């Protein structure tokens, strides 16, 4: 009798242990299911919010300079390559500048919701149920609306931001809805079929669900940091593979668009040097850095060089603008070959160029300018009909902090010195030395420069 009771107790213990394992497995599976659903929702929304921030940060230059056609091209690429079904840009007063919509009904939907009245200085998002039948019997059932302010940063002693517009994007969350239903289906199926193997199923769930979500979350972090060197992983559930493929394609598209954007926003289309806007950004940063170092007792100097192609209007009038563009491009190529990596060169406007030289004294700046002047004047520009054309350039140099500690005043001094070179006969370099404005045509004049030469008169 005692033996029977013992085996009964063993059986009861096994049953209790098995039931306990099944209960633990069911609770674990339920927790994983809810955790995965919540993480997937959060991850998807976070990713689309980061996408909206990324797009809005790249639109500020276009709105600021009213380059709406270029902005339309970039937004069209974003619209075509991502899961966006409605995209619109508004100015700071709420007036619509550009919009794209895959379905006409969405235009009325956005208008009736009056999202414009909700615009503010902080990003907002809304999830809304929607019922729209599209082709092949498919339909859109859920939307994510993200409204992001577009701000530009003013670089000064104290950085500040100015609101210049808004970006409104509507993402289709129908696939996410279906994926959540798929996760629920698989979870229930696994619970029904594998309840007797709770430990194995638990491990299976960790491998097949938890790790893919963690991978996708890590992928989102990398994308938000604009890191696109991503190793693709293959998972058992195809839904996860669809998500991975979608995000990788999105990352590749973003990388291409960032490269294109940097080229459009920073480079002059003709000369491929920095444009004036990019120069101002670099110049503000360099001037601020120099001011801070001097305040700390450190030495920080640089020179601003302005050069202008002599008689450029005559070249355009005589040979045409095509030849003028060829001259500008060739001079820009010469500048790029002579400047160092630490120098900043830009097309300042028309036939005028500006260079920030990282030099410690005016003599080094003069040597650079004379060398560049000589190369330009010795270069032959051969036209289509075989005509050989020669050009020259005039230079003006200003030195920080000797000539001025004010960045705007420094550019004006360089421009005034350039005007002096033009007035004195062109094809020369003008600079203030020892308190006196002088112009030089060749290197021999540098060797004869003495303090006493400028102390008199």
CB 365 within 8 A of CB 323: no
When pLDDT is averaged across residues 18-47 and rounded to a whole number, the result is: 74
Tell me the whole-structure pTM to 2 decimals.
0.45
pLDDT the model gives residue 457: 38
pLDDT the model gives residue 364: 92
369: tokens are 């300018």
Does residue 333 surpass a pLDDT of 90? yes
**Consecutive H or E run containing 139:** strand 139-154
Positions of CATH 3.30.70.270 in the chain: 276-455
* The CATH homologous superfamily of the domain defined by 2-266: PAS domain (3.30.450.20)
CB 223 within 8 A of CB 52: no
Positions of CATH 3.30.450.20 in the chain: 2-266
Q: How far is CA 388 from the centre of its chain?
A: 43
Residues known to be catalytic: 351
pLDDT the model gives residue 454: 42
Average pLDDT taken over every residue of the chain: 78
What gap in Å lies between CA 377 and CA 392, rounded to an integer? 5
pLDDT the model gives residue 167: 85
- More confident position, 188 or 352: 352
Does residue 337 surpass a pLDDT of 90? yes
CB 265 within 8 A of CB 247: no
Highest mean pLDDT among 279-283, 356-360, 444-448: 356-360
High-pLDDT (> 90) share of the chain, % = 27
pLDDT the model gives residue 452: 42
- Name the residue among 393, 390, 399 with its Cα closest to residue 441: 393
Give 62's pLDDT tier (boundaries 50, 70, 90).
confident
CA distances from 230 to 39, 219, 224, 241 (A): 21, 8, 13, 14
- Diameter of the chain by CA atoms? 130
High-pLDDT (> 70) share of the chain, % = 71
Per-residue model confidence as pLDDT tens digits over 71-126:
788 788 777 767 788 888 888 887 778 888 888 888 877 777 766 666 667 778 88
- In a 13 Å sphere around the CA of 74, the CA atoms on its Cβ side amount to 28
Among the listed ranges 291-305, 380-394, 430-444, which one has the minimum average pLDDT value? 291-305
Return the bridge partners of 329, or none: none
What gap in Å lies between CA 206 and CA 134, rounded to an integer? 37
Highest mean pLDDT among 82-96, 266-280, 366-380: 366-380
**276-455 to CATH, choices 3.90.1410.10, 3.60.20.10, 3.30.70.270, 3.40.50.720:** 3.30.70.270
210: tokens are 């938890």
């Amino acid at each position: 009798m005692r033996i029977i009771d013992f085996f009964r107790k063993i059986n009861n213990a096994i049953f209790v242990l098995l039931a306990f394992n099944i209960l633990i497995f069911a609770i674990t599976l339920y927790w994983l299911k809810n955790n995965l659903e919540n993480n997937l929702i959060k991850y998807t929304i976070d990713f689309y919010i980061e996408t909206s921030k990324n797009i809005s940060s790249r639109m500020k230059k276009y709105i600021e300079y009213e380059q709406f056609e270029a902005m339309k091209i970039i937004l069209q690429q974003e619209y075509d390559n991502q899961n966006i079904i409605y995209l619109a840009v508004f100015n700071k007063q709420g007036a619509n500048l550009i919009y794209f919509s895959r379905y006409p009904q969405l235009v009325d939907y956005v208008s009736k919701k009056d999202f414009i009245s909700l615009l503010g200085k902080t990003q907002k998002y809304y999830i809304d149920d929607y019922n729209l039948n599209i082709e092949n019997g498919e339909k859109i059932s859920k939307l994510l609306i993200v409204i992001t302010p577009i701000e530009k940063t003013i670089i000064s002693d104290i950085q500040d931001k100015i609101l210049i517009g808004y970006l409104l994007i509507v993402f289709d969350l129908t696939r996410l809805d279906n994926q959540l239903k798929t996760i629920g289906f698989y979870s229930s199926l696994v619970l029904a079929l594998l309840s007797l193997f709770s430990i194995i199923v638990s491990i299976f769930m960790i491998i097949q669900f938890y790790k893919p979500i963690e991978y996708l979350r890590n992928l989102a972090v990398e994308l938000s940091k604009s890191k696109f060197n991503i190793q693709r992983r293959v998972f058992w559930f195809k839904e996860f593979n669809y998500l991975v493929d979608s995000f990788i394609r999105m990352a590749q598209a973003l990388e291409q668009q960032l490269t294109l954007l940097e080229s459009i926003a920073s480079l002059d289309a003709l000369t491929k040097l920095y444009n004036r806007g990019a120069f101002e950004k670099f110049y503000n940063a360099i001037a601020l850095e120099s001011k801070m170092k001097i305040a700390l007792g450190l030495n920080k100097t640089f020179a601003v060089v302005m050069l202008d192609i002599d008689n450029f209007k005559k070249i355009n009038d005589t040979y045409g603008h095509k030849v003028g563009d060829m001259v500008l491009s060739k001079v820009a190529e010469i500048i790029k070959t002579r400047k160092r990596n630490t120098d900043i060169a830009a097309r300042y406007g028309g036939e005028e160029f500006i260079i920030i030289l990282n030099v410690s004294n005016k003599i080094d700046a003069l040597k650079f300018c004379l060398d560049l002047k000589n190369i330009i004047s010795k270069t032959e520009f051969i036209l289509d009909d075989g005509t050989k054309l020669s050009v020259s350039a005039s230079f003006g140099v200003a030195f920080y902090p000797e000539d001025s500690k004010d960045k705007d005043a420094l550019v004006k001094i360089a421009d005034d010195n350039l005007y002096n070179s033009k007035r004195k006969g062109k094809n020369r370099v003008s600079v203030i030395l020892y308190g006196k404005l002088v112009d030089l045509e060749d290197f021999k004049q540098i060797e004869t420069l003495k303090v006493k030469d400028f102390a008199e008169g």
